[in-house]
């Protein structure tokens, strides 16, 4: 009975997003038809006016043409006339100017509004809320507080279009790696839809049975390797595969550290893996040829290009990934053994100097005094 109930719920979860999307699309099409259909003389061309979606198509064409005209000289002139006229009408001018300012803020490509998600301490100590970074605080507020502050919009739940504008010291904000879309889903669902990395969901969509995410921000290779090893030591995995491009800025440290913590053999950057019982045969690209390695399970291996074929998730896999388990576990406490002191960019290269091919003396002088190669 429990299995049937599980299947029933899984079926609802698979169908519900599609059904809701179709319903919203139907409502939008119907609304566009009701607004624009009276202005479309389809009967004169022998086209039935009852065809659904005609209003939406006309609306799309109308706004597209309007946008093209707005970018022309006459469009800009008309916009200035309308702007000047509405700005002089009492009562309407305040509404028009406010709406216009909001739309201009969100439409400008130079704006950083809602580009980052931050965590702020609100409404009291040790209680936190999600907010969106909009811009740096400027003007009188910044001058009076005499500290670096940022403007954040803290949305309400479940309607993220309302909320509070807050001015918060930059030192009191924690920038998060989740995207704005993930944060909005988290807010709308009142915390039921936890943000997860797209990579994890993609892995589930292309065939992984379940997933585990350690709820921590990585600090260095030692921290990441220890967290993986602490979880894996009780799971009795036969093979642990680590990536290549995600190995600590190509430092190739995590795989070896995990193997050391688990006291297991380690093969680095393998391009092929064949398993026969408890014995694995691996191939590695080395200078001048291919190295073949045999190792018994359990072991750790870091995978290089060629280990597996690239797979694109299909619709069935994407829908199934929604119901697959994603376990989130807390990290283990570790002593920080190393820390990044600073990042430095290389010195900018100076511009090229062109020397007349006939002026060999000048070339020799530059090579000796500036390039210092002779």
Predicted local distance difference test score (pLDDT) of residue 105? 57
- Which residues, including other chains, have CB under 8 Å from residue 369's CB and lie 6 or more apart? none
Q: Are strands 266-276 and 326-329 parallel, antiparallel or unpaired?
A: unpaired
Looking at the predicted structure, is the pLDDT value of residue 102 above 70? no
The b/e string for 186-200 (b: 16+ C-beta within 10 A; e otherwise) is bbeeeeeeebeeeeb
Give me the residues paired with residue 155 across strands: 163
Calculate what percentage of the chain has a pLDDT beyond 90.
14
Predicted local distance difference test score (pLDDT) of residue 49? 60
Predicted local distance difference test score (pLDDT) of residue 109? 40
- Is the Cβ–Cβ distance between 210 and 326 less than 8 Å? yes
State pLDDT tens for residues 357-368: 888 888 888 888
Looking at the predicted structure, is the pLDDT value of residue 374 above 90? no
Nearest in space to 271 (alpha carbons), one of 286, 260, 282: 282
pLDDT averaged over the chain?
80
Tokens 């074929």: give the residue: 309
Least confident of 42-56, 133-147, 180-194: 42-56
Domains (ranges, CATH) in the chain?
A: 2-107 (no CATH), 116-188 (no CATH), 220-329 (3.40.50.620)
Least confident of 116-125, 190-199, 219-228, 336-345: 190-199
**Burial of 297 from C-beta contacts in 10 A (0-12 / 13-18 / 19+):** middle
Cα–Cα distances in Å, from 191 out to 72, 158, 216, 286, 322? Answer: 47, 10, 18, 49, 16
Nearest in space to 152 (alpha carbons), one of 129, 134, 174, 130: 134
Looking at the predicted structure, is the pLDDT value of residue 110 above 50? no
Mean pLDDT of 26-43: 74
- Is the Cβ–Cβ distance between 206 and 319 less than 8 Å? no
Looking at the predicted structure, is the pLDDT value of residue 32 above 90? no
Tokens 């400008």: give the residue: 108
Least confident of 131-140, 308-317, 345-354: 345-354
Predicted local distance difference test score (pLDDT) of residue 146? 82
Predicted local distance difference test score (pLDDT) of residue 283? 92
Predicted local distance difference test score (pLDDT) of residue 301? 92
Looking at the predicted structure, is the pLDDT value of residue 82 above 90? no
- Is the Cβ–Cβ distance between 327 and 196 less than 8 Å? no
> What number of residues does the chain have?
374
Is the peptide bond prior to 214 cis by the omega test (within 30 degrees of 0)? no
Rounded Cα gap, residues 166 and 162, in angstroms: 13
* Band (44; pLDDT cuts 50, 70, 90): low
State pLDDT tens for residues 252-269: 788 889 999 999 999 988
Residue 304 per-residue DSSP state: -
Predicted local distance difference test score (pLDDT) of residue 350? 67
Tokens 């900018």: give the residue: 348
Calculate what percentage of the chain has a pLDDT beyond 70.
83
Predicted local distance difference test score (pLDDT) of residue 48? 63
| Top-confidence residue, 128 or 12 | 128
Residue 361, helix vs strand vs coil: helix
| Residue 330 Cα to chain centre, angstroms | 22
């Amino acid at each position: 009975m429990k299995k049937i109930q599980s299947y029933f719920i899984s079926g609802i979860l698979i169908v519900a997003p599609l059904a809701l999307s179709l319903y919203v699309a139907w409502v939008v099409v119907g609304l566009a038809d009701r607004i624009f259909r009276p202005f479309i003389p389809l009967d004169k061309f022998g086209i039935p006016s009852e065809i659904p979606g005609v209003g939406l198509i006309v609306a799309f064409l109308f706004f597209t043409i309007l946008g093209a005209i707005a970018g022309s000289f006459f469009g800009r002139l008309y916009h200035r006339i309308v702007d000047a006229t509405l700005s002089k009408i009492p009562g309407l001018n305040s509404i028009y100017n406010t709406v216009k300012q909001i739309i201009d803020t969100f439409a400008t490509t130079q704006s950083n509004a809602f580009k980052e998600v931050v965590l702020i301490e609100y409404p009291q100590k040790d209680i936190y809320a999600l907010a969106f970074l909009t811009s740096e605080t400027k003007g009188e507020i910044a001058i009076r507080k005499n500290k670096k502050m940022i403007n954040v919009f803290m949305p309400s739940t479940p309607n993220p279009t309302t909320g509070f504008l807050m001015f918060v010291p930059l030192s009191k904000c924690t920038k998060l790696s989740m995207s704005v879309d993930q944060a909005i889903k988290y807010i709308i669902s009142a915390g039921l839809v936890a943000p997860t990395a797209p990579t994890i969901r993609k892995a589930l969509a292309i065939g992984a049975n379940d997933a585990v995410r350690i709820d921590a921000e990585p600090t260095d290779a030692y921290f990441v390797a220890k967290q993986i090893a602490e979880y894996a030591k009780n799971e009795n995995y036969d093979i642990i595969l680590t990536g290549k491009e995600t190995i600590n800025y190509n430092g190739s440290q995590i795989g070896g550290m995990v193997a050391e913590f688990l006291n297991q053999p380690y093969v680095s950057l393998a391009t092929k893996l064949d398993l026969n019982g408890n014995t694995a045969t691996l191939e590695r690209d080395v200078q001048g040829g291919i190295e073949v390695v045999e190792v018994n399970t359990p072991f750790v291996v870091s995978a290089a290009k060629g280990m597996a074929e690239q797979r694109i998730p299909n619709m069935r896999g994407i829908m199934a990934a929604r119901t697959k388990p994603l376990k989130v576990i807390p990290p283990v406490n570790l002593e920080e053994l190393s820390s990044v002191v600073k990042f430095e960019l290389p010195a900018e290269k100076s511009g090229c100097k062109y020397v007349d091919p006939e002026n060999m003396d000048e070339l020799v002088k530059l090579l000796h005094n500036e390039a210092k190669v002779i």
